[in-house]
A and B are shown apart, each in its own frame.
Chain A
Amino acid sequence: MTQKITIVENILSANDQIAQKNRALLDAAGVFAINIMASPGAGKTTFILKTLEALQGRLRLGVIEGDVASSIDAEKAAAAGIPAVQINTGGDCHLDAVMVANALPALPLTDLDLLIIENIGNLICPASFALGSHLNLLIASIPEGDDKPYKYPGMYRGVQALIINKIDLLPYVPFNMDYFRQGVEILNPGLVTFPVSAKTGEGMQAWADWLVERVQTWKQDLSR
């Protein structure tokens, strides 16, 4: 006799539970974590390096490096006085909560204010796997084209801030900003957006100031 059992369980709940544990650990240590996602070639590495530069002396920084193709290696960051851990993902297409849980003990968490997690360059998989971060950030870029919110809705749904990188290329590349922004607005109403060029530095100050304020407000709320 076949018997039917109703389950209704989210397939990602195991990952979500570990992500919640990561979050609790970060909260206890007073560390604000950002999960940075982007397609390959969006300028993630340059953007992160420029962000670290802009934040040095304002926040105590740490890095989890998940992108095997990135050139922010742990040694380079350490040379700049920034604690960093490299996750060897073994060719995986996204970070998951377990990888981050395993990386966290290697960082001096109580000495940090901000942890930057560089996810793997991919617009599909990382969106589904929560890490326990306080802010999910997507870096879009002008040369990718204005249709990306329509092609990768899951990614645009799950972030709390958006960077539009490489705006210095706007005069040379067909990119309808209104069309792009309408897609974003429908998927994620009111999403905080920073148009920047990590290369020329345009817009980076506004982003860095916003982030510092966000981290400080969060820390104040935490200590209340």
Chain B
Amino acid sequence: MHELPITQNILEIALRHAEQAGAKEIKQINIVIGKFSAFVDDSIQFYWSIIAQGTIAQNAVLHFERVPVEFTCLDCGTTYEPQEDAFACPHCLSPRIKITRGEELRVESIEIE
């Protein structure tokens, strides 16, 4: 249920930028969510249909780009998507890893009229 405050923030961000641009309507909101950020787009969509009512964003399509997790091995440079129960580098077994993708949680852009 922590998607409610997230959804409110998405609405607030979208409305603020739409107003600055003098928009009459927000058609689409493009959102980027990394897998590690632990937010569920279905829940955001559910809250959206309630809280966007009566705003210029009420008919906006929420478009989610889901980013898979990507680890980069600091020893051999391999980039890979970790398994759910094993994180070490599959190539050299090193545990020295940088998380290079998958923690995103941002509004990328809006499409307005």
- Interface Cβ pair total, 8 Å cutoff: 103
Q: Does A187 contact B (CB under 8 A)?
A: yes
Contact (Cβ within 8 A) B109 A6: yes
Contact (Cβ within 8 A) A9 B112: no
Identify whether the interface residues of A are mostly helix, strand, loop, or mixed: mixed
Compute how far the CA of A72 lies from the CA of B87 in the bound complex, rounded to whole angstroms. 37
Shortest distance between the CB of A92 and any CB in chain B (Å): 7
Contact (Cβ within 8 A) A2 B84: no
Q: Does B95 contact A (CB under 8 A)?
A: yes
Shortest distance between the CB of B22 and any CB in chain A (Å): 10
**Given contacts A128-B38, A185-B95, A93 and B108 within 8 Å (CB-CB):** no
**Which of A3, A92, A153 contacts B21, CB < 8 Å?**
A3
A: interface residue count bin: 35 or more
Q: Does A183 contact B (CB under 8 A)?
A: yes
Contact (Cβ within 8 A) B112 A3: yes
CB neighbours of B96 from chain A (8 A)? 189
Contact (Cβ within 8 A) B13 A9: yes
B: interface residue count bin: 35 or more
Q: Mark A147-186, 1 if CB is under 8 A from B, else 0.
A: 1001101100100000000000000000000000011011
Q: Does B62 contact A (CB under 8 A)?
A: no
Shortest distance between the CB of A186 and any CB in chain B (Å): 4
CB neighbours of A124 from chain B (8 A)? 2, 38
**Which of A7, A14, A127 contacts B17, CB < 8 Å?**
A7
Contact (Cβ within 8 A) A186 B17: no
**Given contacts A7-B17, A127-B38, A93 and B1 within 8 Å (CB-CB):** yes
CB neighbours of A92 from chain B (8 A)? 1-2
Q: Does A5 contact B (CB under 8 A)?
A: yes
Contact (Cβ within 8 A) A11 B88: no
- A96 to B, closest residue via Cβ: B5
Contact (Cβ within 8 A) A7 B1: no
Contact (Cβ within 8 A) A2 B105: no
Contact (Cβ within 8 A) B9 A7: no
Q: Does B107 contact A (CB under 8 A)?
A: yes
CB neighbours of B57 from chain A (8 A)? none
Chain B interface residues (CB < 8 Å from chain A):
1-2, 5-6, 9-10, 12-14, 17-18, 21, 23, 27, 31, 36-39, 69, 71, 84-88, 95-97, 99, 103, 105-113
A-B contact pairs, 8 of them (CB 8 A): A2-B27, A3-B23, A5-B110, A10-B105, A128-B39, A182-B87, A185-B95, A186-B71
